[in-house]
Amino acid sequence: MSHLFAPLTLRETTARNRIMVSPMCQYSSEEDGLATDWHMVHLGSRATGGAGIVMTEATAVSPEGRISPNDLGLWSDAHADALAPVTQFIRSQGAVPAIQLAHAGRKGSHAPPFEGGQGLQPDDGGWETLAPSGPYPRDDAPLAREMSADDIEEVKAQFVESAQLALDAGFDIAEVHSAHGYLLHEFLSPASNERDDEYGRSFENRVRLTREVTRAVREVWPDDKPLFVRISATDWLPDRDSWTLEDSVRLAPLLAADGADLIDVSAGGLHPDQQIPHTGPNYQVPFAERVGEVTDALIGAVGGITDAKQADALIRNGRAALAIIGREHLRDPYFALHAAEALGEEADWPKQYRRAV
């Protein structure tokens, strides 16, 4: 039997297999961060396609926490109501609905990439962004405002409120986004955090906000539902003081103690000068494997996972508990069903499609 199609139980939530649809920005909210028919079709088709866990894109906890004006958000009852049909459909197809809660920080206020990706000034529909300190290293980006103590408390409260709304919308898994150069990651890295208060300088201070948000979300997230945290294992900035794999190794057991059931290990995204030595199959999996050596939390791996046997080996060899697959799910919404067939498992195609199998 394959290991990829073994069920995964976290707390009292069970996924039918070890395949998760990675959070992937769609930039398709046409009005104030509300979910649309696109989200129903995009996320719903991956549930129909056999994935065990289907996670939304980075979902902003506040309007200024969006990457672009077209980002998905969750800061009001109206946002929860728009997402509720999506979670209901995902669950009806046998998958677990999950949501990634995020704040873009100084990477906010940009046009969607397929519209150029340029920074948007307030006169162009943009907004003032927030950051731990320092300017964002792009000439066209809005100048970020260094966060005050009150700003930090407000952001923590926004994550909590968004988690509560996620429950109302029907999600079973929440993930705190502390990767890819967004706000919480900006606090983690000395390359972007130059504060001299209790949220800056030392490792213990720089990880404080991610830990406080994780604990705060865990307090309102039900005991029977799992909590994930996504981190960038490294900034890929070897020539400057930055966040490194060894920092992630130090952070991982702390996050587990704070209530994280699974750590979703990615990398990079903080700075345009990052140096990625290579990409290809499993190129980030060694980071996940190393982090998994030091924590009781389960580990999810990402990066160049495109093949059924490759994903199965990842689980079989204990390198991760969850194969988190992004771009291959864009190419093939039915990746999990095709993977089951490739591994000799029974592929449970929707009854509406079985005459084509």
- Secondary structure of 138-149 in HEC code, one letter for each residue: CCCCCCCEECCH
The length of the chain, given as a count of residues: 357
Domains belonging to the chain, first-starting first, are 8-344 (3.20.20.70)
The residues that bridge with 266 in the sheet, in sequence order, are 232
Q: Which residues are catalytic?
A: 182
Residue corresponding to tokens 């950051």? 131
Residue-level pLDDT at 137: 58
pLDDT for position 139: 56
Q: What angle do CA 143, 70, 227 make, to 5 degrees?
A: 90
The token duo for 46 is: 């991956």
Q: List pLDDT tens digits, range 280-316.
A: 999 999 999 999 999 999 999 999 999 999 999 999 9
pLDDT of residue 7: 98
Which tens digit of pLDDT belongs to each residue from 69-108? 999 999 999 999 999 999 999 999 999 999 999 999 999 9
Which has the closest alpha carbon to 176: 233, 227, 130, 222? 227
Query: What is the Rg, in whole angstroms, of the alpha carbon atoms belonging to the chain?
Result: 19
Q: Decide: 295 and 253 in contact? Cβ < 8 Å.
A: yes
Strands (E), the chain: 8-10, 13-15, 19-21, 53-60, 96-102, 130-131, 145-146, 173-178, 227-232, 262-266, 298-301, 322-325
Distance CA 283, CA 299 (A): 16
Q: How many CB atoms lie within 10 A of CB 200?
A: 16
3-class SS of residue 335: helix
325 near 348, Cβ under 8 Å? no
Q: Which residues of the chain have pLDDT under 70?
A: 135-140
pLDDT at res. 294: 97
Alpha carbon distance 45, 24 (integer Å): 14
Count CB atoms within 10 A of the CB of residue 210: 25
Nearest to 162 by CA among 59, 241, 316: 59
